Amino acid sequence: MEKALLVHLSTDRISKFAAEESMQELRGLVESAGAEVRQEIFQQRSKISPKYYIGEGKVTELKKLLQEQQADMVVFDHILSPLQQRSLEDRLRSKIIDRTQIILDIFAQRARSREGKLQVELAQLHYLLPRLTGKGTALSRLGGGIGTRGPGEKKLEEDRRRIQERLTHIKTSLRRIRKRRAQQRKGRKSSPIPLVSLVGYTNAGKSSLFNQLAQEDMLTSKQLFATLDPVVRRVSFSDGTYCLLSDTVGLIKKLPKELKTAFRATFEEAGEADSLCHVIDITSPHCQRQIEAVEAILSELDARNIPTLRVCNKVDLLPESSRLLQRNEDPDRASVYVSARTGEGLPDLKKKLHHMLFKDQRIFYLLIPKSEKNIIQSFPKWSIVLKRREHNQYCELKVMAEPDNMVKFSPYVHRGDTTW
């Protein structure tokens, strides 16, 4: 296991709490990537050093700490320029990783689908391309470990021309995949079946909640970004209605721009949803900052106006007094409190979700002569057909629809047997 030193530089008078919060998140990223954190180093400085990012005195201190702690690398809680990274590597004679690179490495480990792997490679190559300048094949660090894994690792030895060719090929492949995905989304948008996307900060418990609602068995883990590839499943309600539920990639503060671009199609899943469930780790000491970070990214996706239900997860880890306090602070009950682990609060969540999706609709029972084929075939296009059964001369339908759309079908509304 690789051993790492973590570095955070503050150039303004931000609180010590905020700096420690950011460093704690970096520690989680590094541990998720498979390394051991040996020490955390903080520095307060009026401005960033163009050459080393941190001050020269701190660089000297780091060189000593690398030997004392027998560390293999230094991980910065910032985005380093190519010059800063090269200067630090030359001075410290050690692997230098910045926040972008550590997140890219985690994504490289987690990606499973062809699209996910291509997206990771695209982001890696965009990150590495400017760092080839002046280094050539010296960037060949294929000894393994953080920062060298993933679909893009074999490209480190190639020149800029070969990397540009690979970038072109990946972009072409992703365009085809995105075109198919756009067609799928278009098909879903034209469907009366509503789509709900789970969004939230990474490790908030989205996948656990997805498993509970969709009765699935997806991977869940305390590691950050445990799941990457979006999954869509059907969720049924007690009255027979249903929706589609999508589990999206976890969001994070200071998300690298390479990943925002590369995973645009994945993030767009949230922007195309009819409703959102914003899953929140209610036990996190940084809960409010995480909420703000997710809402900022949703704003970038033009998803702020989508009806959203806040799902405060992990309530089972709170003492009962805290649970009552949380609920009293939310008198309009715009949030729902659940435990994806124990199932607590899930009936309330499904009830609120059903109301959000179907509040303007109701169930109708229809008895339509089989000779009216066009009418029978039209219902799945604009209403949710919950059940269908046929008699000798009639087709009986149970549908969820808006009352205004049912006016012209009033002669077929059946008020008899409504037990099915």
Domain-terminating residue out of 342, 358, 374: 358
Asked if residue 186 is part of any domain, the answer here is no
CA torsion through residues 156, 160, 166, 171, sign: positive
CB 386 within 8 A of CB 241: yes
pLDDT at site 157: 54
pTM above 0.75, yes or no: yes
Both 39 and 155 in one domain: the answer is no
Q: Does residue 212 sit in the same domain as residue 324?
A: yes
Task: Provide the domain count of the chain.
Answer: 4
147 and 259, same domain (yes or no): no
Burial of residue 124 (number of CB atoms within 10 Å: 0-12, 13-18, 19+) = buried
Do residues 34 and 81 touch, judged by C-beta distance below 8 A? no
Residue 156 is part of which domain span? 105-174
Binned at pLDDT 50, 70 and 90, residue 131 comes out as confident
- Contact in structure between 155 and 125 (CB atoms under 8 Å): yes
DSSP per-residue letters across 228-253: -S-EEEEEE-TTS-EEEEEEPPPB-T
Verify that 67 and 155 share a domain, yes or no.
no
Q: Which residue has the tokens 């079908």?
A: 409
Residues in the chain: 420
- Nearest Cα to Cα of residue 294 among 306, 307, 304: 304
Within 13 A of 331's CA, how many CA atoms are on the CB side?
A: 0
Residue 214 has pLDDT above 70, yes or no: yes
* 129 belongs to a structural domain: yes
Mean pLDDT of 391-398: 90
Tell me 79's DSSP state. Answer: P
- 């075109």: which residue's tokens? 179
In a domain, 347, yes or no: yes
CATH number for the domain that contains residue 305: 3.40.50.300
> Could you tell me if residue 55 is inside a domain?
yes
Instruction: Tell me which amino acid residue 267 is.
Output: F
pLDDT, average across residues 380-396? 91
User: What pLDDT score does 144 carry?
Assistant: 56
Residue keyed to tokens 């169930």: 363
Is the pLDDT assigned to residue 160 strictly greater than 90?
no
Residues 141 and 271 placed together within one structural domain of the fold? no
Task: Report which of residues 282 and 324 the model is more confident about.
Answer: 282
Q: 234 φ, ψ to 5°?
A: -90, 140
Ranges 124-133, 225-234, 348-357: which has the least confidence:
225-234
- Phi then psi for residue 190, to 5 deg, are -80, -10
Q: Residue 380 has which token pair?
A: 């799945």
pLDDT per position as a tens digit, 240-294: 899 999 887 677 777 767 666 656 655 666 777 889 999 999 998 888 888 988 8
Please check whether residues 333 and 221 belong to one and the same domain.
Answer: yes
Tokens representing 206 are 């989205």
Q: Which residues pair with 129 in a beta bridge?
A: none
User: What confidence tier does 25 reach under pLDDT thresholds 50, 70, 90?
Assistant: confident
Measured in degrees and rounded to the nearest 5, phi and psi for residue 414 equal -105, 120
Question: 42 pLDDT band (50/70/90 cuts)?
Answer: very high
pLDDT greater at residue 187 or residue 200: 200
